[in-house]
A and B are shown apart, each in its own frame.
Chain A
Amino acid sequence: MTSPYPILSIVGILIVVLSIAAGLIWLERRLLALWQDRYGPNRVGPFGLLQVLADMLKIFFKEDWIPPFADKYVFILAPAVIVVTVLLSFAVVPVAPGIIVTDLNIGLLFVLAMSSLGVYSVVLGGWSSDNKYALLGAVRAAAQMLSYEVFMGLSLMGVVLLAGSFDLVRIVEAQRHLWFVVPQFLGFVLFLIAGVAETRRLPFDLPEAESELIAGYHSEYSGMKFGMFFVGEYLGVTLISSLITVLFLGGWNGPVLPPIVWFLLKMFAFICLFILLRAALPRPRFDQLMNLGWKLLLPLALANLLVTGAVVLAKGT
Chain B
Amino acid sequence: MLSALRTLWNVFLHMFRKRVTVQYPEQKPYLAPRWRGRIILSRDPDGGERCVACYLCAVACPVDCIALQATEDQTGRRYPEFFRINFSRCIFCGYCEEACPTYAIQLTPDFEMAEYERQNLVYEKEDLLIDGPGKYPGYNFWRVAGVKIGGKDKGEAQNETAPVDLHTLLP
**Contact of A37 (CB < 8 Å), options: B8, B19, B23:** B19
With an 8 A cutoff between CB atoms, is A277 at the interface?
Answer: yes
A-B residue pairs in contact (CB < 8 Å), sample of 17: A34-B14, A34-B15, A35-B11, A35-B14, A35-B15, A36-B14, A37-B14, A37-B18, A37-B20, A37-B21, A38-B20, A39-B19, A276-B11, A277-B8, A279-B11, A280-B11, A281-B4
Instruction: Render B9-26 as a binary contact track against A, CB cut-off 8 A, 1 for contact.
Output: 011101101111101000
Enumerate chain A residues within 8 angstroms of B71, measured Cβ to Cβ: none
Across the interface, do B7 and A39 meet the contact criterion of CB distance under 8 Å? no
How far, in Å, is A205 (CB) from chain B's closest CB? Answer: 16
- B15, A280: Cβ atoms closer than 8 Å: no
Contacts of A39 in B (CB 8 A): 19, 21, 23
Give A contacts to B, CB under 8 Å: 34-39, 276-277, 279-281
The smallest beta-carbon distance between A30 and chain B, in angstroms, is 11
Given contacts A280-B7, A281-B7, contact A35 B12 (CB under 8 A): yes
Of B8, B19, B20, the contact of A280 (CB 8 Å cutoff) = B8
**Chain A's nearest CB lies how many Å from the CB of B110?**
23
Which of chain A's residues have a CB closer than 8 A to the CB of B17? 37
Task: Give the residue name and chain of the A residue nearest to B8 (CB).
Answer: A280
CB distance from B130 to the nearest CB of A (A): 34
Query: A35 → chain B, closest Cβ, in Å?
Result: 5
Identify the closest chain A residue to B10 (Cβ).
A280
Q: Given the complex of chains A and B, what is the CA–CA distance between A35 and B23 in angstroms?
A: 18
Q: Which residues of B contact A279 (CB under 8 A)?
A: 11
Chain A residue contacts of B7, Cβ below 8 A = 280-281
CA distance A37 to B19 in the complex (A): 4
How far does the alpha carbon of A58 sit from the alpha carbon of B11 in the complex, in Å? 31
Decide if the interface of chain A is mainly helix, strand, loop or mixed.
helix
A32 and chain B: residue at smallest CB distance: B11
Q: Closest CB of chain B to A134's CB: distance in Å?
A: 30
The CB with the most chain B CB atoms within 10 A, among A35, A39, A279, is that of: A35
User: What separation, in Å, do the CA atoms of A205 and B7 have in the docked complex?
Assistant: 18
CB distance from A296 to the nearest CB of B (A): 10
- Chain A residues whose CB sits within 8 angstroms of the CB of B15 once the complex forms: 34-35
* Residues from chain A with Cβ under 8 Å of B11 in the complex: 35, 276, 279-280
In the bound complex, CA of A276 to CA of B21 (Å): 20
Known: A280-B4, A280-B11, A281-B8. 9 other contacts (CB 8 A): A34-B15, A35-B11, A35-B15, A36-B14, A37-B14, A37-B17, A37-B21, A39-B21, A281-B4
User: Shortest CB–CB separation between residue B55 and chain A, in angstroms?
Assistant: 39
> In the complex, are the beta carbons of A38 and B19 less than 8 A apart?
yes
With a cutoff of 8 Å between Cβ atoms, the chain B residues found around residue A38 in the complex are 19-21
- What is the CB-to-nearest-CB distance from A136 to chain B, in angstroms, rounded to a whole number? 26
Within 8 A of A (CB), among B41-57: none
In the bound complex, what is the Cα–Cα distance between A277 and B8 (angstroms)? Answer: 7
Select from chain B the residue with minimum beta-carbon distance to A279: B11
Q: Whose C-beta in chain A lies nearest to the C-beta of B18?
A: A37
Q: Which residues of B contact A281 (CB under 8 A)?
A: 4, 7-8
What chain B residues lie within 8 Å of A35 (beta carbons)? 11-12, 14-15
User: In the assembled complex, which residues on chain A have CB atoms less than 8 Å from the CB atom of B18?
Assistant: 37
Q: How far is the CB of A115 from chain B (nearest CB, A)?
A: 24
Complex Cα gap A240–B19 (Å): 31
User: Which chain B residue shows the least CB distance to A278?
Assistant: B11
In the complex, which residue of chain A has the Cβ closest to the Cβ of B5? Answer: A280
> In the assembled complex, how far is the CB of residue B19 from the closest CB belonging to chain A, in whole angstroms?
5
In the bound complex, residues from chain B placing their C-beta under 8 Å from that of A277 are 8
Contacts of B20 in A (CB 8 A): 37-38
What's the least CB distance linking B21 to chain A, in Å? 5
For the complex, what is the distance from the CA of A271 to the CA of B14, rounded to whole Å? Answer: 18
* Chain B residue at minimum C-beta to C-beta distance from A40: B21
Q: Which residues of A contact B12 (CB under 8 A)?
A: 35, 276, 280
Residues of A within 8 A of B23 (CB): 39
Are A276 and B19 in touch, CB under 8 angstroms? no
Chain A's closest residue to B16 (CB) is A34
Which 4 pairs from chain A and chain B are nearest by CB?
Answer: A280-B11, A280-B7, A280-B8, A35-B14
Shortest beta-carbon distance from A292 to chain B in Å: 10
Residues of B within 8 A of A276 (CB): 8, 11-12
Name the residue on A nearest B4 (C-beta).
Answer: A281
